[in-house]
Amino acid sequence: MHYEDPTLEEARLVGLVVNPKMVDIPARRIGQWEIVHTGKHTCLMHDERGMVMSNEDYEIHAAARFAATATGCVVVLGLGLGLVVRMLLARAEVSRIAVVEIDNEVIDLVGDTFQADRRVTIREGDAFSSQCVRKHRRKYSDATAIWADIWDAADANSYGQRLALTARWAGVAPRIDCWGMGRSVAHWEALRDAGKNPRLRPPRG
């Protein structure tokens, strides 16, 4: 099994250039979460976890490749800054976007920026929950693709979670892409090749 994360040039070639203006969220705080503007980038910060997401190039290369070919009904696991949602909304070929976000504070912080677009539905839910998967299989039987970005890092420890999530949602849509899969696989394989026998970490919760 081999995965590769796209380069910035590939993101440009598909017509989705990384643009700081894609994130039009005011600096504010709700609970443990905060939107911070550094002058160059916008960051989603958590009091304990630190920076969870930003609109830096490396964060959204894979999202750009995914969004560039998405059509019809798309399921997004993890709201974050809403970058992939904005990319999908830029495509007339995308008819519906169903977002699953586990943290209600993130929904309150970011979700209202999509209230004006009827194509977007954001609901609180755990992407690893079998009940959440069944619900979306019923409600979005026409889903064509799923984008998953629920991790703070693309490391070896989260590789097992990515595999588990992909398997769990396999019956909902024919295509499932995970942010950072290429780097997560590379880190895991490096540990394996070094004889450290990395374990595949089970899903959270």
24 or 201: which carries more pLDDT confidence?
24
Instruction: Confirm if 27 and 55 have CB atoms less than 8 A apart.
Output: no
2 or 184: which carries more pLDDT confidence?
184
pLDDT digits (tens, 9 = 90+) for 73-113: 999 999 999 999 998 998 899 999 999 999 999 999 999 99
- Strands 72-77 and 94-101 come out as parallel
pLDDT for the residue numbered 200: 64
pLDDT digits (tens, 9 = 90+) for 104-141: 999 999 999 998 899 999 999 999 999 999 999 999 99
Other CB atoms within 10 A of residue 184 CB: 25
Report the chain's mean pLDDT, rounded to a whole number.
Answer: 86
Instruction: Confirm if 64 and 78 have CB atoms less than 8 A apart.
Output: no
Instruction: Please enumerate in sequence order all residues whose Cβ is within 8 A of that of 193, keeping only pairs 6 or more positions apart, or say none.
Output: none
Report the distance separating Cα 177 and Cα 67, nearest Å.
10
Provide the CA 162 distance to its chain's centre, in angstroms: 11
| CA distances (Å), origin 131, targets 28, 104, 134, 146, 170 | 33, 18, 5, 17, 14
Percentage of residues in the chain with pLDDT exceeding 70? Answer: 85
pLDDT digits (tens, 9 = 90+) for 156-173: 888 889 999 999 999 999
Read off the pLDDT of each residue in 13-37 and give the average, rounded to a whole number.
75
In sequence order, what are the beta bridge partners of 11? none
Report the distance separating Cα 14 and Cα 154, nearest Å.
23
Of the candidate CATH numbers 3.30.230.10, 3.50.30.50, 3.40.50.720, 3.40.350.10, the domain formed by 8-193 belongs to: 3.40.50.720
Domain borders along the chain are 8-193
